[in-house]
Structure 1
């Protein structure tokens, strides 16, 4: 029986309700901040933390052995996530930036507090990941999907550190320390709702892709198991394991590619020839991995074959 982590479930439910509530100011408040609707960032973070908390509640429920330190790590994840969103909502209500803002003592203190929350979140993420990884799941495809999702999501979370630290021309006197845009100041043209820069590199892309490996990769073996009922080629565990590992490797490559693209100051929607070539190489590798996974395995002897082999051996013995 699954034992859902209560603080994480509470965090997920609270953030889901907050996201619904934030739809009202998002629609009716016409104010903007850094070129985006004022309430877009709180809405995005509320949705993200709701999904993140629910996923961790599910992952921790998979433990066959209840580890108190793992559940404590889950509680830290829940508290840190809710606290970070609370600061973001508070700053939006004031019409102020929540991240990279040191324009006043209060803004600097809140951004510093968020930094501590992120550190706590990352450490708790690692501890909770170890707790989950110590247990083998129902089958090998699911086990490896969870493992890869945890590793990539931890790297995605750590990727947020690339946004910290002063950029050229920034100082405490200027009130802004750090940025998510590479090559340009924050606040330029961006994708609708997401806000990812369409004029320069944006480190939020890799951060988003990496963190959500935790939600997406475990869905792969579940989908393959469901499809195997209608597609016999997917029935062998060997095939589903190969496809799961291929999906995990492809996802990790996409994560690395988005970070690399952003660090080169290149917008996500305007890849150059080098980026396109790298993406094509990733696609070819994924297709090759899928093809290898789908190859027929060695034929196993069925009951009839065993009977024939036994009879042949008996006959040969009688002749001798």
Structure 2
């Protein structure tokens, strides 16, 4: 191979180098939110150890599952939104207002969930005592604040995105829209759970699968699916931006994954609101779920194969 080809052959930067450069490019509020996200992971890991040593059930309204799952989910969301902020054109005060608020409310939410687990009482839908009712109310208020901030960031992803990375921008916008959908699905859990408790149907709220509709529809399933599109979709957008693809091909990959994820979420919502278990698929739902999975998996597989070939080619040239 010629010297010219050696000099001009494109290859992605090593992941460690990209991560270090990414950290340096984060704003001060984004770094604070990232640190909070890492603390959420520490909390999740700690409570996982507590659970393993406790010989208690993973299911049920009182379980170490709550601080573990909340820690992981809040940690992932915090780190992701901190990275997304770097792709937005925000004034410093706006970044502090939005990300600082998220950092504070994430900490409060995890502390309250963990506190109730250590007290041995349910963290959600628990009004057994005045204190428990205050805790549940405080959790509701923190969630409302989180929803407002997420809505603001979703709007800003359309109005204040930095230019130059169309596939990544598209992926971020799709992920933010689905994250907003996840907030509304969380509100649906409250809207269904509170009347069920008022009617004395505690099994529908505190059963092994949480708030259910009909015979087996689990509202937590579409809620969880929607919340984590913000990791799956922007990750693909970031990967394809590192490849020697045309912008058209990059956008096609981003659109494919976004459509696939939306289809998976639609199937999950259908299963929940028709009272069916998450994986008790009929033929149409099964086909739709498979189509959604393929639309996500194919661009990921293509990007992964291209990255592998590029790195192998680079090593061969060296």
CA root-mean-square deviation: 3.0
State the partner residue of 2:221.
Answer: 205
When Rg is computed on C-alpha atoms for both structures, the one with the higher figure is 1
Helix, strand or coil: the match of 1:164?
Answer: helix
| Separation (CA, whole Å) in 2 of partners of 1:175 and 1:272 | 28
- Please tell me whether the aligned partners of residues 103 and 174 of structure 1 are also in contact (alpha carbons under 8 angstroms): no
Residues 169 and 237 in structure 2, CA contact (< 8 A), matched pair in contact too: no
Unaligned stretches of 5+ in structure 2?
1-24, 300-318
> Partner residue of 1:298?
none
Question: Of 162, 170, 173, which residue of structure 2 is paired with 1:144?
Answer: 170
Counterpart of 1:121 in structure 2 is 146
As a proportion of its length, which structure holds more helix? 2
Report the Cα distance in structure 1 between the residues aligned to 2:195 and 2:252, rounded to whole angstroms: 49
The partner residue of 2:278 within 268, 280, 286 is 268
Aligned counterparts of 1:278 and 1:98: Cα–Cα separation in 2: 35
Cα 1:172–1:106, aligned 2, differ >3 Å: closer, same or farther? Answer: farther
1:20 offset after TM fit, Å? 2.3
Deviation at 1:222, TM superposition (A): 2.6
CA distance in 2, matches of 1:166, 1:214: 25
Partner SS state of residue 268, structure 1: coil
TM-score normalised per structure 2: 0.75
Q: After TM superposition, give the deviation of residue 110 of structure 1 in Å.
A: 1.0
Summarize the Cα distance change of 1:70–1:129 in structure 2 as closer, same or farther, 3 Å threshold. Answer: farther
Shift of 1:175: 9.7
* Aligned equivalent of 1:58, options 83, 91, 98: 83
2:251 counterpart residue number: 241
Take 2:36 and 2:194, find their aligned partners in 1: how far apart are those partners?
A: 38
TM-score under structure 1 length normalisation: 0.75
- What is residue 187 of structure 1 aligned with on the other side? 207
Look up the SS of the partner of 2:75 in the other structure.
Answer: helix
Which SS does the other structure have where 1:100 is aligned?
coil
Q: Does 1:109 align with 2:134?
A: yes
Question: 2:111 aligns to what SS in structure 1?
Answer: helix
Quickly say closer, same or farther: Cα 1:18–1:73, change in 2 above 3 A: same
Matched, 1:94 2:119: yes
Bigger mean CA offset, 117-126 vs 135-144: 135-144
Query: 1:130: how far off?
Result: 2.8
Conserved? CA contact 2:124–2:136, under 8 Å: yes
Q: For residues 264 and 168 of structure 1, do their structure 2 counterparts lie closer, same or farther at Cα, with a shift above 3 Å needed?
A: farther
In structure 2, what is the equivalent of residue 306 of structure 1?
A: none
Give the superposition deviation at 1:281: 5.8
Report whether the alignment pairs 1:27 with 2:45: no
* Shift of residue 64, structure 1, vs aligned partner: 3.9
Question: Larger deviation: 112-121 or 54-63?
Answer: 54-63
1:215 is matched with: 231
Counterparts of 1:247 and 1:169, CA distance in 2: 37
CA distances 1:245-300 after superposition (whole Å, capped 9, x unpaired): 1211111121122112111111112212342244356568x49x98xxxxxxxxxx
Asked if 1:156 corresponds to 2:156, the answer is no
